[in-house]
Structure 1
C-alpha cells in the first residue's frame, strides 16, 4: 500500500506526486523523491524498481522479507534492512518483529514497512521542519529513519529491565524460584530478539560514518555517528541484561535445590521420630513368654510415656537444628 510519494527540491517540499511521475522528478537537479510503502505487493515493488532503477537483488530481499538487519551497497545506492521491535499487545509479554527496507540513491528514498503498525509520518514531518538538513538529500532521510527505528528500541529495553528487576526482587521469595526460572527464560528470549535486531545493525551503521563512506551518506557522517552511539549503548545494556539473567537463573536453580533439601530434611526428621515409635512398638510387640514389662501394672502407661517423651525430645532437637 502506498503511504505517500513526495518530491523535494533544495530541502523544500514541492508536491505530492503520482508514482508514474517519479522518473520525471528524479532527473531534475537538486530534486529527490521520497516514497513510503506499507506491506508492499510484488507488483508495487516491480513498479518502484522500474521507476528508480533498483538493484534486482535488493528488490528480491525486500520481496521475500524476514531479512537479517544489514546495510548493503549496490553501486551508488544503499539497501538497508532494519527490524521494528514493538510489544505484541498490551496484555502479552511477547514482542512483534516488523521490518523496514530502505532503498537510498542519490535522488530518491524508498521505505517499505512490513508487519508493523507504527509508521514514519513523524519522521517525514521532522525532516520537513528542518529544510537546511533536508537539503543534504537522501542521506539525511536515511539517518532520520534509522534514528527513529533506534529510538523505538529504548522503551522496549526499559520495559525488559523493569521486568528483570521485578523478578530479581522475587528471587528469595519462598515457593517462587520455579516460576521465576520460567519467566527468566521467557525474558531471555525477548532480549535475544532485541539482540538480533541491534547487533547486526550496529555493524552495518558503523560503515556510514568512518572509513570509506558511501557517496549518498557523504556530509551526514556525524549524524550516523550519533546513531552508532545509541546502538552501542543499547547493545551494552543488552549484554548487561544477559549476564544478569544468567546469574539470576543460577541463583534460582540454587534456591530450588535449597528448598528441595529443606523438604528432604523435614521428611528425614519425621521419619526418624516415627522410627523410634516403631522400634519401641516392635520390641514390646514380640511374643516372647518371659517379658517382665508385660506383667507390670503400669507397663502400658510407662511405655506410652517413654515413647512420647523420646519423640518429644527428638522433635525438640530437630526443631532446634532447623530441620522442622
Structure 2
C-alpha cells in the first residue's frame, strides 16, 4: 500500500496525494515537500519508486534484504537510513523489532516497511499540526518521524527496568523466590542486550544527520536531530546501567542461594551429629561381650533410652544457640 502526503509552501497546508504518476512533478517543484510511505510494497511498486526517485540499486537491495543493521548511507542527492520500531510482548519474554527504511531528499521523505508501524501515524499527525514549520524544510518532518520512534523506546525501557527491580526485590524476600528468579534474570538480560544492539548504532545515524556539512538539511535542523540524539543517549546509558545491574543482581542471587545452601548443610550436619551420638550408645550396648556394665541391669533398656533422649535434647539446645537449627 502506498500513501503520499504533500505540504505546500504557498498555502501552508498539507494534503493527501493520490496521483502517484506525478511524483516526478513534485520532485522537480522545490515549493512542495512530500512524504511517500510504502507499507508491504510489491516488487513492482519498489521498482516504480526506484525509477521515479533514481535510487541506486544497492540502496534498493538494502531495502529488500531485511533485518539490516541500523545505519545511514549518503548518496549523491539523498540519504538512505535503516531505523527500528520496538515493541514488547509475552510478559518480558520477547522484543519485536520492525524495520523501517527511509530515503531523505531535499524535498521528500520516502519510508518503506513490511509490518505496521504505529509511530508513523503519530509522526503524520505531528506533520499536520506543525505544517507551517515543516513546509520550510524536510528536516522537521524527518525529526518528527525519528523522535516518535525514539520516544516509544522509553515506556518499553521503563517496563523492563521496573521488572528488573521487582526481580531484585524477590531475591531478598527470604521465601525461596530466588530459586525462580535466575531464569527470569537471564531472559531479561537478553532483552536488554537485544535492545542495546539495535539502539546503539542508531546514534551513528543521528551523528551523520547533525553534520554541519550536510547538503540537504539547514542549520535549524541540527537542533532537532541533536534532541533525538540526546534521547537515544539517555536510552543507551540506561540500558547499560541496568544491564550491569542485572549482572550484580544475578551475583546477589547466587550469594543468597549459597547462603541458603550453607544453612541447609548446617542443619543436616547438626541432625547427623545427634543421630550419630544416639547410634553410638545403641552400638555400644549392641556388642556381644559378656562383661558389659549394666548388661544385667533390669532398667538398662530404659536407662539407655533416657540417655539418648537427654543427649539429643542437649545437642538440639546447643545447636539452636549456635544457630545451626
For normalisation by structure 2, the TM-score amounts to 0.94
Query: What's the CA shift string for 1:42-64, capped at 9, x where partnerless?
Result: 32221211111112212111111
Asked if the contact 1:70–1:200 (Cα under 8 Å) also holds between the matched residues in 2, the reply is yes
Task: Provide the residue aligned with 2:128 in structure 1.
Answer: 128
Task: Provide the residue aligned with 2:102 in structure 1.
Answer: 102
SS of the equivalent of 1:226 reads helix
Deviation at 1:292, TM superposition (A): 2.5
Asked if the contact 2:32–2:135 (Cα under 8 Å) also holds between the matched residues in 1, the reply is no
Query: What's the CA shift string for 1:92-143, capped at 9, x where partnerless?
Result: 6422111111111112211112334525122112112212321233222211
Task: Provide the residue aligned with 1:161 in structure 2.
Answer: 161
Paired residues for 1:191-230 under 5 Å: 191-216=192-217, 218-230=219-231
Q: 5+ unaligned residues in a row in structure 1: which ranges?
A: none
Distance 1:216-1:230 versus aligned 2 partners, 3 A rule = same
Distance (Å, rounded) in 1 between the aligned partners of 2:33 and 2:211: 25
Asked if the contact 1:104–1:216 (Cα under 8 Å) also holds between the matched residues in 2, the reply is no
SS of the equivalent of 1:263 reads helix
Number of residue equivalences: 322
Task: Provide the residue aligned with 1:6 in structure 2.
Answer: 5
Distance (Å, rounded) in 1 between the aligned partners of 2:240 and 2:109: 33
Distance (Å, rounded) in 2 between the aligned partners of 1:29 and 1:302: 110
Distance 1:74-1:284 versus aligned 2 partners, 3 A rule = same
Distance (Å, rounded) in 2 between the aligned partners of 1:217 and 1:43: 34
Q: Do residues 139 (structure 1) and 139 (structure 2) align?
A: yes
Deviation at 1:206, TM superposition (A): 1.7
Q: Do residues 294 (structure 1) and 299 (structure 2) align?
A: no
Distance (Å, rounded) in 2 between the aligned partners of 1:177 and 1:217: 55
Task: Provide the residue aligned with 2:304 in structure 1.
Answer: 303
Moved more, 124-133 or 60-69: 124-133
Distance (Å, rounded) in 1 between the aligned partners of 2:45 and 2:19: 13
Q: 5+ unaligned residues in a row in structure 2: which ranges?
A: none
Task: Provide the residue aligned with 2:190 in structure 1.
Answer: 189
Distance (Å, rounded) in 2 between the aligned partners of 1:163 and 1:321: 38
Structure 1 residue ranges (4+ consecutive) displaced by more than 4 angstroms after TM superposition: none
Distance (Å, rounded) in 1 between the aligned partners of 2:49 and 2:210: 28
Deviation at 1:236, TM superposition (A): 1.2
Q: What is the root-mean-square deviation of aligned Cα atoms in Å?
A: 1.7
SS of the equivalent of 1:102 reads strand
Query: What's the CA shift string for 1:235-278, capped at 9, x where partnerless?
Result: 11111111211110100011111111111111111111111111
Task: Provide the residue aligned with 1:74 in structure 2.
Answer: 75
Asked if the contact 1:52–1:108 (Cα under 8 Å) also holds between the matched residues in 2, the reply is no
Moved more, 154-163 or 47-56: 47-56
For normalisation by structure 1, the TM-score amounts to 0.94
Deviation at 1:214, TM superposition (A): 4.3
Q: Do residues 17 (structure 1) and 15 (structure 2) align?
A: no
Asked if the contact 1:79–1:102 (Cα under 8 Å) also holds between the matched residues in 2, the reply is yes
Asked if the contact 2:119–2:145 (Cα under 8 Å) also holds between the matched residues in 1, the reply is no
SS of the equivalent of 1:224 reads helix
Asked if the contact 1:105–1:216 (Cα under 8 Å) also holds between the matched residues in 2, the reply is no
Q: Do residues 254 (structure 1) and 216 (structure 2) align?
A: no
Asked if the contact 1:139–1:218 (Cα under 8 Å) also holds between the matched residues in 2, the reply is no
Asked if the contact 1:160–1:187 (Cα under 8 Å) also holds between the matched residues in 2, the reply is yes
Asked if the contact 1:22–1:33 (Cα under 8 Å) also holds between the matched residues in 2, the reply is no
SS of the equivalent of 2:86 reads strand
